[in-house]
């Protein structure tokens, strides 16, 4: 009888909350325990660098579920509690207050945490990181006071914080070792469009250089770059990427490689243990290798798949990676993975910031990004998934609707 069983989820954020919801939706009648180190009930992080950070929406807008949801669904929320040790042989978990939880199934959704800057002065006051709603509150309060900010790193978090700070009227300098913002994911050509978007808004973009040291008397007052520049500032925001939170899993000897290694059913290498969300490096049926995705849609969709897998349903997780970003009045969505591509084909008008970029390998679409063009994610996904040959000239022809192109490609593949 499943009603005798206990399913425990460690990590009460988007992935954990969606998994708990799915266990109930799919009829699990036993105990569901959702353990979260943060005091806050599960919330979504994307607003923390965007409208929530700018003070345009309040706390109520970020929660995954309303307050009554967990009690109504008989989900035991253990907030402000950290799982400190896992014994997979005895299927038990220990929390920081000594509570022992026996589980029939365990889902690890422990997420990711910001990489720290390791240069002299990194511990000075006035150096901000952004992962939690508390971090966002602290940064919002600092933005309210205005002044000059140096953003270290022009990845997604750095770029969005730079945009929000500019929108709040601060003086913003971004320092990024790559030649353009977001280069690792978007490459030079499309990254350059983001550079121009920021510089048009008055951001000082220092690329091709790193941070040598942060300096100040107690609190940061200036940043010294590796090419010898000195940038005065009132505070610093560091956005140099995240790393999966694997300590609990690693101490329990689960297989770890760039996250917790799981198969396409989200199963780890110990009986009854699963992982999903930012922490999971999951075997992907489409790519034929493990993929770890640090984005909202993956937590939203992969965790329910893990919950179904916990219930013994045959739930392969094969969605293509997808993410979005909003900076100023520029929105984008990205589907697929651009690894190993040989060129970028652009449909539309990059100067007007209204276009779709396709990352190609030979005659196949590997990834697509739509900027300020909407409702095209499905055909882009279809083009990637079908993997049929497609000509650059057809992709760029604005007279041919994208869904028609995707259907034609599908037809020719059949
Ligand atoms: C500021 C910001 C903006 C973002 N914007 C976007 C965006 O625009 N688009 C996009 O696609 N993605 C965005 N993301 C990424 C997205 O928010 C993450 O992919 C998503 O939060 C991952 O969810 P998760 O539940 O897997 O992990 P997390 O959100 O990291 O949650 C993990 C939770 O587990 C808890 N935990 C960890 N270890 C333990 C333990 N041992 N015991 C108990 N609890 C534990 C943590 O405290 C945390 O609450 C953004 C992220 C941030 C920080």
Q: Is the CB of 161 under 6 A from ligand 1?
A: no
Q: Does residue 42 have a pLDDT over 50?
A: yes
Q: What are phi and psi of 408, to 5 degrees?
A: -65, -40
Q: Is the CB of 302 under 6 A from ligand 1?
A: no
SS3 157: helix
- In angstroms, rounded to a whole number, what is the distance separating the alpha carbons of residues 126 and 142? 9
Mutate to test the pocket of ligand 1, among 19, 33, 37 (most ligand atoms within 8 A of CB): 37
Question: How far apart are the CA of 278 and the centre of ligand 1, in A?
Answer: 7
Q: Is the CB of 15 under 6 A from ligand 1?
A: yes
Q: Is the CB of 248 under 6 A from ligand 1?
A: yes
Give me the pLDDT at residue 1, please. Answer: 44
- Quick one: angle between helices 156-167 and 133-144, nearest 10? 30
Question: How far apart are the CA of 201 and the centre of ligand 1, in A?
Answer: 29
Question: How far apart are the CA of 161 and the centre of ligand 1, in A?
Answer: 17
Give me the pLDDT at residue 294, please. Answer: 97
Give me the pLDDT at residue 143, please. Answer: 98
Nearest atom (ligand 1) to Cα of 322: 11
Closest of 107, 114, 74 to residue 302, by C-alpha? 107
Nearest atom (ligand 1) to Cα of 35: 43
Question: How far apart are the CA of 49 and the centre of ligand 1, in A?
Answer: 13
Residue with CA at minimum distance from ligand 1 atom 38: 110
Q: Is the CB of 11 under 6 A from ligand 1?
A: yes
Closest of 243, 248, 384, 263 to residue 322, by C-alpha? 384
Length of the chain: 414
Mutate to test the pocket of ligand 1, among 46, 53, 65, 319 (most ligand atoms within 8 A of CB): 46
Nearest atom (ligand 1) to Cα of 132: 53
Q: Is the CB of 252 under 6 A from ligand 1?
A: no
* 360-390 residue pLDDT tens: 999 999 999 999 999 999 999 999 999 989 9
Residue with CA at minimum distance from ligand 1 atom 3: 46
- Rounded mean pLDDT of 333-362? 96
Give me the pLDDT at residue 406, please. Answer: 80
Give me the pLDDT at residue 204, please. Answer: 98
Q: Is the CB of 382 under 6 A from ligand 1?
A: no
- Rounded mean pLDDT of 58-87? 98
Q: Does residue 411 have a pLDDT over 80?
A: no
Question: How far apart are the CA of 184 and the centre of ligand 1, in A?
Answer: 21
Give me the pLDDT at residue 405, please. Answer: 87
- Rounded mean pLDDT of 74-92? 98
Buried b or exposed e, range 351-363, using 16+ CB within 10 angstroms: eebebbbbbbeee
Q: Is the CB of 106 under 6 A from ligand 1?
A: no
* 294-342 residue pLDDT tens: 999 999 999 999 999 999 998 799 999 999 999 999 999 999 999 889 9
On average, the pLDDT of the chain sits at 96
CA 324 and chain centroid, separation:
9
Buried b or exposed e, range 76-96, using 16+ CB within 10 angstroms: ebbeebbbeebebeebebebe
Cα angle 186, 191, 195 (rounded to 5 degrees) comes to 155
State if pTM tops 0.95. yes
Give me the pLDDT at residue 388, please. Answer: 86
Residue 167: pLDDT band with limits 50, 70, 90: very high
Q: Is the CB of 52 under 6 A from ligand 1?
A: no
Q: Does residue 80 have a pLDDT over 70?
A: yes
Residue 412: pLDDT band with limits 50, 70, 90: low
* 169-218 residue pLDDT tens: 999 999 999 999 999 999 999 999 999 999 999 999 999 999 999 999 99
Q: Is the CB of 157 under 6 A from ligand 1?
A: yes
Residue with CA at minimum distance from ligand 1 atom 33: 11
Q: How many other CB atoms are there within 10 angstroms of residue 234's CB atom? A: 18
Q: Is the CB of 8 under 6 A from ligand 1?
A: no
- Asked if 266 and 292 touch (Cβ cutoff 8 Å), the reply is no
- Rounded mean pLDDT of 134-153? 98
Q: Does residue 245 have a pLDDT over 70?
A: yes
């Amino acid at each position: 009888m499943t009603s005798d069983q206990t399913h425990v989820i460690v990590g009460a954020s988007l992935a954990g909350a969606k998994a708990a919801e799915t266990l109930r939706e799919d009829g699990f009648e036993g105990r569901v325990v959702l353990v979260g180190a943060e005091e806050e009930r599960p919330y979504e992080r994307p607003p923390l660098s965007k409208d929530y950070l700018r003070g345009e929406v309040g706390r109520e807008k970020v929660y995954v579920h309303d307050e009554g949801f967990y009690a109504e669904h008989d989900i035991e929320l253990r907030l402000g509690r950290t799982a400190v040790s896992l014994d997979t042989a005895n299927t038990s978990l220990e929390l920081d207050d000594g509570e022992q939880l026996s589980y029939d199934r365990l889902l690890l959704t422990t997420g990711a945490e910001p990489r720290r800057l390791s240069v002299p002065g990194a511990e000075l006051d006035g150096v901000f990181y952004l992962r939690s709603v508390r971090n966002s509150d602290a940064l919002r309060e600092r933005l309210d006071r205005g002044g000059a900010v140096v953003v270290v790193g022009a990845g997604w978090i750095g770029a969005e914080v730079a945009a929000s700070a500019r929108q709040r009227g601060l003086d913003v300098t971004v320092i990024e070792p790559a030649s353009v913002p977001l280069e690792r994911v978007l490459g030079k050509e499309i990254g350059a469009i983001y550079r121009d978007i920021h510089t048009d808004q008055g951001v000082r973009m220092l690329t091709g250089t790193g941070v040598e040291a942060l300096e100040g008397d107690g609190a940061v007052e200036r940043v010294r770059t590796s090419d010898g520049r000195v940038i005065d500032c009132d505070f610093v925001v560091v956005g140099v990427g995240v790393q999966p939170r694997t300590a609990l899993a690693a101490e329990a000897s689960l297989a770890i490689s760039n996250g917790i290694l799981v198969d396409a059913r989200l199963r780890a290498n110990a009986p009854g243990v699963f992982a999903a969300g930012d922490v999971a490096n999951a075997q992907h049926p489409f790519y034929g290798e493990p993929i770890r995705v640090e984005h909202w849609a993956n937590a939203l969709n992969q965790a329910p798949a893990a919950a179904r897998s916990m219930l013994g349903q045959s739930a392969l997780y094969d969605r293509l990676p997808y993410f979005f970003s909003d900076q100023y009045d520029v929105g984008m969505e990205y589907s697929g993975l651009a690894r190993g591509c040989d060129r970028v084909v652009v449909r539309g008008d990059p100067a007007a910031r209204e276009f779709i970029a396709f990352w190609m390998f030979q005659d196949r679409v590997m990834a697509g990004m739509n900027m300020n063009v909407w409702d095209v994610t499905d055909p882009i996904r279809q083009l990637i998934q079908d993997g049929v040959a497609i000509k650059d000239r057809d992709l760029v022809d604005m007279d041919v609707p994208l869904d028609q192109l995707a259907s034609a490609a599908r037809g020719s593949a059949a």
